[in-house]
Amino acid sequence: MSPENIGKAFQRWLDGDVNFLEHMTDTAHVPDSQREELKAGRRQLQHEIRHRGSHRLLRAEEAGFRIVYNAVAVISCIVLIGVLLFIVSRLPRYGVENPRTLTVVERYVEKGLQETGAVNIVAGMILDYRAFDTLGESHVLFTALVCVTILLRRDRKNMDSTLEDYYTIRRDRYYDTSRDGLIRRIAVVLLPCILVYGIYILLNGQNSPGGGFSGGAVLGAGLILFVASFGFDAADRFFTQKVFSVISFVSLAFYSFAKGYVFFTGANGMENHIPKGTPGAILSGGLILPLDIAVGMVVACTMFGFYSLFKRGSIGKD
Amino acid sequence: MSFLCNVPLATIVLSLFSGVLCTVISGKAARRYTLVYECVLTGLLVALFVHVYRNGSFTYVMGEFPAPWGNEIRAGVLEAVVALTFMVIMGCSVAAGARFVSLDMDESKVNLYYALLNLMTAALMAIIWTNDVFTGYVFLEILTLTSCGVLIVREIGRTTLAAVRYMILNLLGSGLFLLGVVFLYDMTGHLLMVPMRETAAELAADPQGLTVLTLSVGILTIGLSIKSGLFPFHFWMPDTYGKATPTSASVLSSLVSKCYIFLLIKIYWRAIGVDVMMHMPVGNILFVLGMLGIVLGSVSAMRAEDINRMVAFSSAAQIGYIFLGIGIGGQEGYTAALFHILAHSVTKSMIFLTTPRLAEVSEGNVAFRYLQGSALRDRNAGVFFLVGALSMIGIPIFAGFASKLLFGLAALEHQSDAKLVLTMLALAASSMLNALYFIRTVIRIYTPNPAVRDYRRRHSAAYNIPMMVFTAANLFLGLFSWVAVRLIQLGLEQFV
């Protein structure tokens, strides 16, 4: 390549016309009229790749890249698996062999009941000892719901009118489970049991395995079954967008401020006015029960919200 | 205990609450609320900074239970400086990008966008303040989700695709980070950083313990470097930053990716200990990857055909710088890395907020050939872009120069000659490449183009004031870099 050509190519790159390193040789001296043709050819190729399946039209170098890519992917997976297995095989066994791991756990097990008022040590741990993490965790769920809402709630940007044609409506009706008598009758029997069980898990989190996350999941599943068997129209009568927003807002705001109060009093050495209650009773464990209810509400709403957004693109009537 | 010690708690809990609140109010109200809220928070952080500068660092027990049993957060000079900078950048990005937010997304979802930004603020603050590795992980999840959320909100094909790719890589990163945390917990029995460091020092005395510790730290490091976009994992950057709405691009490139690195530095210093880190090859690997990132990121930026991709690839190079500093190690290396976190955050967010304005006066095109003369059609955006470009190249009096100087000095302090030579070479090559592609862009946007009719833009204070704040911060970091360096050194001393 002559210095003159390099100079020209550099000038073109400076003008934003070409890719300096890739096309220095081939398009630097292509006149403008031909460049349009080249572009059209490229578009045609892209179109064909998109519509005919990519394998056949890939050029040799791209196929080569694919082979290398797959090989690297497989090798890095194997290396990662090897490293992880190696670490796990060398980790000291938990507990007796490694006494330094016990300092934290011992206090949870021995003093958990006395300090948190919860028979269920796990509830005491996640909602009292390490409540800050759980505060974050409940907002993770809410964040996920906000993201799904952004993606799926119908608005003028993601609505496609061609989808709303006759066949879609017919197909939706065909697969609509709420028109099925069998499902409806079974749901009538099952639903009360599921909802009562969900409430039981929710309210008993401080005394037995369970709590907000699991109870809320059961309640959410109950709501989904209700909608699947009786249709969204039935749900819209009591569960609108507004009800949904209010429940999540109140639950999460209560959670933030209740825990904020505990953090604030704890760190500043002030007295915490929340009674611990009698261990084993429903009203025990201090804030654990109300927090469980708040988390349960958020989880149930979120699960139902996901289902509803995926199914029809909105949570409820506005 | 002074009342100001409650500020870190307030930044986290109130931001979480604000996020939830924004979902139930209208988009306009959410925007106003977010702006006011961020101003208030900035004020509080200034007060906190003065407090920690005078009285030293403090830990804040989250609840009734003390250190190894309950959660804890900590505030020192370094955390206060980083939190304050991040908060200012967040507020300025929201203010300057507000007009694009209403153009880019459906009216009914604007409030959700601000909700995500508030949740992101909460996560950023929590990660900065945390003194507990697992709390870091929990808020990392919120950060991951919110950063995908602020991408998809444009609802065009490219951003959705970019968000899916970003999400997959981010989740891989989170998974590896979580594995690293689990291994560390299993070995040391602690999740809080200080007790973990004490046990890690005992473990490292035994060679087998050191091997397992090194691998665990390695996995954790890979996780966080995927999330922040270190060299082999930087390919998600151009689409993610280039196609997002300007506020998102600015926040993602300058705050989110830096926050992961800050967490990594915090874990190295407070949970593992720099003395133990000296015995691990992690630093050398990061050094090499950082250097490759600098060179290859700059080459990719040269090859980019539009301005957004160019700026995004240059981010990959800048992330390389930060990891280079960590790789050099020692107090000087980390100081340079942390200074560059601040300098690059201020610069890159500014550039990402000017490019959409330049594209707007070029009929919405971001390709270079259409941008000719755009700085003359929108003079303010042109000047701000010029400031950012000069800083990125490393012209004296701007922040970029100070950070390059610090990297050079850190390499000089270091004993190894190989690292010195390599650092100098990387700095020289990258400065030259940076100059090439930024100067080219500056020439392009300042060359008059008679073919395009003259737009007369009406300039709003809502755009100019935040951009002037960025410029002032940039000049401050460039001219008075010793202030920032002194504060960072003070903060690092408090870390140990």
Least confident of A279-288, B102-111, B137-146, B279-288: A279-288
Which residues of chain B are within 8 Å of residue A156 when distances are taken between CB atoms? Answer: 106
Contact A260 B13 (CB under 8 A): yes
Chain center to CA of B61: 27
Q: Looking at chain B, which residue has its C-alpha nearest residue A246?
A: B24
Q: What is the pLDDT of residues B46-95, one digit of tens each?
A: 999 999 999 989 999 888 888 788 888 999 999 999 999 999 999 999 99
The confidence band for A27, taking pLDDT boundaries of 50, 70 and 90, is very low
- Note whether B99 and B463 are within 8 A (CB): yes
Is the predicted pLDDT of residue A145 greater than 80, yes or no? Answer: yes
User: What residues of chain A lie within 8 A of the CB of B123, using their CB?
Assistant: 136
Looking at residue B366, what is its pLDDT?
A: 85
| Residues in chain B closer than 8 A to A142 (CB atoms) | 19-20, 119
Q: What's the complex ipTM?
A: 0.91
Mean pLDDT of the residues in chain B? 91
* Closest Cα in chain B, distance from residue A234 (Å): 24
Average pLDDT on A130-148 reads: 91
Position B479 pLDDT exceeds 80: yes
Nearest-by-CA chain B residue for A83:
B215
Tell if the CB–CB gap between B65 and A84 is shorter than 8 Å. no
Partner-chain contact A246 B24, CB within 8 Å = yes
Alpha carbons A124 and A112: distance in angstroms, whole number: 7
> What is the token pair recorded at A247?
């429940």
Under the banding of pLDDT at 50, 70 and 90, the label for residue B113 is: very high
Would you call B109 an interface residue with chain A, using a CB distance cutoff of 8 Å?
yes
> Where is pLDDT greater, at B155 or B193?
B193
The pLDDT of residue A58: 57
Q: Interhelix angle for B379-393 vs B399-413, to 10°?
A: 10
Q: In this complex, do B153 and A150 lie within 8 Å of one another by their Cβ atoms?
A: yes
Q: By three-state DSSP, how is residue B494 classified?
A: helix
**Which chain B residues are within 8 Å of A75, Cβ to Cβ?**
none
Q: Which of A 78-117 lie inside 8 A of B, CB atoms?
A: 83-84, 86-87, 90-92, 94, 98, 100-105, 107-108, 115
Give the residue on B whose Cα is nearest the Cα of A245: B24
- Cβ atoms of B131 and B59 within 8 Å: the answer is yes
Contact A16 B372 (CB under 8 A): yes
Encoded tokens for B371: 């941008």
Find which of A14, A36, A87, A103 to mutate to test the B interface (most B CBs within 10 Å of its CB): A87
Q: How far apart are CA B41 and CA A246, in angstroms?
A: 26
Binding-face residues of B in 42-71 toward A, CB within 8 A:
60-65, 68-71
Interchain CB contact of A144 with B (< 8 Å): yes
Nearest CA-CA distance, residue A28 and chain B, Å: 15
Residue B156's beta-bridge partner residues? Answer: none
Contact B61 A267 (CB under 8 A): yes
pLDDT at residue number A207: 84
Contact B366, B306 (CB under 8 A): yes
Determine contact: A261 vs chain B, CB below 8 A. Answer: no
- Which pLDDT belongs to residue A41? 77
> pLDDT tier at A111 (50, 70, 90 boundaries)?
confident
Best to test chain A binding among B26, B116, B186 (most A CBs inside 10 Å): B186
Name every chain B residue with its beta carbon within 8 A of the beta carbon of A265: 64
Mean pLDDT of A200-225: 90
Whether B179 contacts chain A with CB within 8 A: yes
Q: Are B128 and B80 in contact (CB under 8 A)?
A: no
- The neighbour count for residue A308, using CB atoms within 10 Å, is 23
Which of B1, B22, B64 to probe the A interface (max A CBs under 10 A)? B64
Residue A260 and residue B62: Cα distance in Å, rounded? 9
The DSSP call for residue B132 is B
Per the CB < 8 Å rule, is B135 touching A136?
yes
Q: Is the pLDDT of residue A2 over 80?
A: no
Work out the average pLDDT over A221-233: 90
- Map residue A305 onto helix, strand or coil: helix
Give me the residue from A132, A139, A144 closest to B135, CB to CB. Answer: A132
- pLDDT score of B21: 94
* Token output for B458: 């009406």
A68 contact B CB<8A: no
C-beta atoms of B16 and A16 within 8 A = no
Q: Which of A149-158, A202-211, A271-280, B105-114 has the highest mean pLDDT?
A: B105-114
* Contact status, residue A129 vs residue B70, Cβ threshold 8 Å: yes
Is residue A316 a contact partner of residue A239, using CB atoms and an 8 Å limit?
yes
Residue B330 host element (H or E): helix B330-360
Nearest to A130 among B70, B106, B112 (CB): B70
SS3 state at A21: coil
- How far, in Å, CA of A278 to CA of A286, rounded? 10
Which one of A144, A146, A246 has the shortest CB-CB distance to B112?
A146
pLDDT in tens, A47-72: 766 665 555 555 666 778 888 989 99
Rounded CA gap, B216 and B222, in Å? 10
Using CB atoms, which residue from B23, B202, B440 is nearest to A245?
A: B23
Q: Tell me the per-residue pLDDT of B323-343, one tens digit each, with 9 for 90 and over.
A: 999 998 888 999 999 999 999
CA distance B83 to chain A (A): 19
List chain A residues with CB under 8 Å of B440. 13-14, 16
Q: Report residue B62 as tokens.
A: 């989250």
**In chain B, whose CA is at the least distance from the CA of A241?**
B24
Q: Which residue of A has its CA nearest to B191?
A: A104
pTM of the model: 0.91
- Which residues are bridge partners to B61 per DSSP? B72
- Which residues of A are less than 8 Å from B299 in CB distance? 21
pLDDT at residue A16 is higher than 70: no
pLDDT at A24 over 50: no
Cα–Cα distance, B136 to B129 (Å, whole number): 9
Decide if pLDDT at A7 tops 80.
no
Residue-range domain boundaries for chain B: 281-496
Q: Percent of chain B having pLDDT more than 70? A: 98
- B149 pLDDT band (50/70/90 cuts)? very high
**Closest residue, chain A, to B440 (C-alpha):** A14
Mean pLDDT of chain A: 81
The residues near A57 (Cβ < 8 Å, ≥ 6 apart) are A45, A48, A49
Query: Sign of the CA dihedral B144, B147, B153, B159?
Result: negative
CA distance A180 to B213: 58
Cβ distance B305 to A151 less than 8 Å, yes or no, reads no
Q: Does A139 touch chain B (CB under 8 A)?
A: yes
- Residues near B155 by beta carbon (within 8 Å), at least 6 away in sequence: A150, A151, A155, A157, A158, B105, B106
The dihedral sign for the CA sequence A269, A271, A275, A280? positive
Chain A residues with beta carbon closer than 8 angstroms to that of B112: 146, 149-150
A75 touching chain B per CB within 8 A:
no
Q: Which helix (H) or strand (E) holds B406?
A: helix B399-413
Q: Which B positions 315-374 lie with beta carbon below 8 A of chain A?
A: 367-369, 371-372
Q: What is the pLDDT of residue A23?
A: 46
According to the model, what pLDDT value does residue A175 have? 76
Q: Does B302 touch chain A (CB under 8 A)?
A: yes
Of chain B, the end-to-end C-alpha distance in Å amounts to: 22
B24 contact residues in A (CB cutoff 8 A):
245-246, 249
Option in A128, A150, A257 nearest B112 (CB): A150
Element holding B125 (H helix, E strand): helix B110-129
The reply to whether residue A133 touches residue B135, judged by beta carbons under 8 angstroms, is yes
Using the Cβ of A29 and the Cβ atoms of chain B, whether some distance falls under 8 Å is answered with: no
A163: number of Cβ within 10 Å: 9
Question: Distance from B160 to chain A by nearest Cα, in Å?
Answer: 9
Give the whole-angstrom CA distance, residue A241 versus residue A305: 10
